[in-house]
Chain A
Amino acid sequence: RKEVEQDPGPFNVPEGATVAFNCTYSNSASQSFFWYRQDCRKEPKLLMSVYSSGNEDGRFTAQLNRASQYISLLIRDSKLSDSATYLCVRSGGYNKLIFGAGTRLAVHP
């Protein structure tokens, strides 16, 4: 089983749509979780950290369920500029980051 599993997509949605990505992880000892965004041929960039209480940053909402080892990302009112690959990430030991393979999002007019 992969350490971090994501639906690869692609998710093709129209502008303005709401889209949700899910992620599961296998190591229950993980302390920290993140969503990163990666554009084609670019480095990943931190989108937001994920907390058990849920957190929101503008149109983006992240949720963590430790009991189910499940993480989600909700994007509301999708923009064309949201098109990218979204990477679910958990912390490993010694400050390492363990990446999922990513979910591709394509927002069309």
Chain B
Amino acid sequence: GAVVSQHPSWVICKSGTSVKIECRSLDFQATTMFWYRQFPKQSLMLMATSNEGSKATYEQGVEKDKFLINHASLTLSTLTVTSAHPEDSSFYICSAFKGTGTGGNEQYFGPGTRLTVT
């Protein structure tokens, strides 16, 4: 199997503080991880692609200085929401890409982190 964990599973923080979310691939190495955000009753929106050993690639409209991504090892990517505001409250989900070697697209999702900013 392929297991991806996220920590914390939920967090409440005050406006203006920073929050770090960890995404780990537990039984495989992932050179690429993805970070998504999902607001209630909306789709998962890709925020950025996290590449091990290099800078993340952000989707259009996502502030890279606000959402800091670090992919320091093949099993860990972190997303830091800096100076969080209530509008950043959302469900943040990561996924880790496990290449099949045959061109298959296998992404394994973490259980998500529910962030509430008060």
Which residues of A approach B to under 8 Å, CB–CB?
4, 8, 32, 41-45, 87, 91-92, 94-102
Distance (Å) between the CB of B110 and the closest chain A CB? 6
Does B8 sit at the interface, judged by CB under 8 A? no
Q: Does B77 contact A (CB under 8 A)?
A: no
Inter-chain CA distance A4–B114, complex, in Å, is 25
Chain A residues in 8 Å Cβ range of B110: 43
Interface string of B21-58 (1 = CB under 8 A from A): 00000000000101010000111111001000000010
Question: What is the distance, in angstroms, from B88's C-beta to the closest C-beta of chain A?
Answer: 18
Residue of A32, A45, A97 with most partner-chain B CB within 10 A? A97
Residues A96 and B109 in contact in the complex (CB < 8 Å), given A44-B44, A87-B44, A101-B43: no
On chain B, the residues within 8 Å of A45 by CB distance are: 109
Instruction: Identify the closest chain A residue to B99 (Cβ).
Output: A95
Q: In the complex, are the beta carbons of A97 and B46 less than 8 A apart?
A: yes
B102 close to A (CB within 8 Å): no
Q: Return A104 CB to nearest CB of chain B, in Å.
A: 9
Other 8 A-B pairs with CB < 8 A, given A43-B111, A94-B32, A98-B46 = A41-B114, A43-B112, A95-B105, A95-B107, A96-B34, A97-B107, A99-B43, A102-B43
Q: Nearest Cβ distance between residue B117 and chain A, in whole angstroms?
A: 18
* A32 to B: closest C-beta gap in Å: 5
Total chain B interface residues with beta-carbon distance under 8 A: 22
Closest residue of chain A to B91 (Cβ to Cβ) is A41
Q: Are A32 and B105 in touch, CB under 8 angstroms?
A: yes
Query: Chain B contacts of A97 at CB under 8 A?
Result: 34, 46, 95, 105, 107
A42 touches B112 (CB 8 A): yes
Residue of B at shortest CB range from A44? B109
Contact A91 B43 (CB under 8 A): no
Tell me which residues from 63 to 118 in chain B have a Cβ below 8 Å from any Cβ of chain A: 91, 93, 95, 97, 105, 107, 109-112, 114
A/B interface sample: 25 pairs, CB < 8 A: A4-B43, A8-B41, A32-B105, A41-B91, A41-B114, A42-B111, A43-B109, A44-B44, A44-B93, A44-B109, A45-B109, A87-B44, A91-B105, A92-B46, A94-B49, A94-B57, A95-B32, A95-B97, A96-B34, A97-B95, A99-B36, A101-B41, A101-B42, A101-B43, A102-B43
